[in-house]
Amino acid sequence: MLPFARVTILGLGLIGSSIARGIRQHMPSVRVTGYDADPSVRATAVAIDLCDDVADSAGTSVIDADLVILCVPVGAMGAAAADIAADLPADAIVSDVGSSKGSVIEAVRAALPDATFIPAHPVAGTENSGPTAGFASLFHHRWCIITPPEGSDSLAVERVSEFWRRLGATVDTMEPGHHDRVLAVTSHLPHLIAYTIVGTASDLEEVTQSEVIKYSAGGFRDFTRIAASDPTMWRDIFLSNREAVLDMLQRFTEDLTALQRAIRWGKGDELFELFSRTRAIRRSIIDQGQDDARPDFGRSHE
């Protein structure tokens, strides 16, 4: 049995448009209504036939929805929720796809105090953005973390879980605060580091930017992919998950300082010990199907 019959997607970027395509593929009888605050995104959505309907306002888009998914940057969740408050059906379930949960739960609850809100976070994405970047299989074999606040209706949690399973994801549930700390280390800190190193490299006066680009195959190019992710989305994530990000960053900096000291003092054993330990993690990620086993990410060497 389909968990929902009429789904509204608010925000038609990479994730929103992938959900729309995923529904078309996996739940073709579900009616999908889309809305985006940007008129040009709405026009694109119409042009590429992304949804059954593209509404002209947030309120209109939710009028007959039984699931409303907020797919906007985490800093815009509260405003998006407020925009639908007057028109949201009483029995609709509201969910989201935000990469941080504590602040999103607070903002959505403030805007929709009486709504059933079941927060979710599909751990999937690419470095591309916008309505044409989405694809139906984005969530296949990826985790979707549901973070039901205490006292959530268990049937509502199950319906949202089933929705994500239909899109190909494996569902896990987690306490929101724990989610925010896990993602701070597995996603937010890596993005922050990648943005930083790409910035550092492009600022060097003595090494020209063309040299950085030319010789990027030595490792740098790996970082540029996630440093090409959506700027608004990531600005919001760091601001909204501030405490956990700052804590993880502090640990990272301590570890980096220890390595810096080992390099300065020629302590090769300390370097070797760490570099040996980190290999095992890669192995486990591949064994668990969370990354490609082919060397160099399977990049073509023709």
Of 60, 126, 152, 173, which one interacts with a second copy (CB under 8 A)? 126
The nearer residue to a second copy, 58 or 198, going by C-beta atoms, is 198
The nearer residue to a second copy, 5 or 204, going by C-beta atoms, is 204
**Contact between 25 and a second copy per CB under 8 A:** no
Q: Which span (5-13, 23-31, 58-66, 203-211) binds a second copy, by CB under 8 A?
A: 203-211
**Contact between 48 and a second copy per CB under 8 A:** no
The nearer residue to a second copy, 5 or 246, going by C-beta atoms, is 246
**Contact between 24 and a second copy per CB under 8 A:** no
In the complex, minimum distance from the CB of residue 28 to a second copy, in angstroms, rounded to a whole number: 19
The nearer residue to a second copy, 60 or 232, going by C-beta atoms, is 232
* 233 to 252: interface string for a second copy, x by CB under 8 A: -xxx-xx--x--xx-xx-xx
The nearer residue to a second copy, 20 or 67, going by C-beta atoms, is 20
**Contact between 38 and a second copy per CB under 8 A:** no
Residues 79-98 that bind a second copy (CB under 8 A): none
* 102 to 121: interface string for a second copy, x by CB under 8 A: --------------------
In the complex, minimum distance from the CB of residue 31 to a second copy, in angstroms, rounded to a whole number: 25
Q: What are the DSSP calls for the chain, one per residue? A: --S-SEEEEE--SHHHHHHHHHHHHH-TTSEEEEE-SSHHHHHHHHHTT-SSEE-SSHHHHHTT-SEEEE-S-GGGHHHHHHHHTTT--TT-EEEE--S--HHHHHHHHHH-TTSEEE-EEE----S--STTS--TTTTTT-EEEE-PPTT--HHHHHHHHHHHHHTTPEEEE--HHHHHHHHIIIIIHHHHHHHHHHHHHHH-SSS-HHHHHHTGGGTHHHHHHHTTS-HHHHHHHHHHTHHHHHHHHHHHHHHHHHHHHHHHTT-HHHHHHHHHHHHHHHHHHHHTTSS--SGGGG----
**Contact between 171 and a second copy per CB under 8 A:** no
The nearer residue to a second copy, 55 or 74, going by C-beta atoms, is 74
| Strands 93-96, 67-70: pairing kind | parallel
Of 91, 114, 150, 203, which one interacts with a second copy (CB under 8 A)? 203
d(CA 70, CA 53): 16
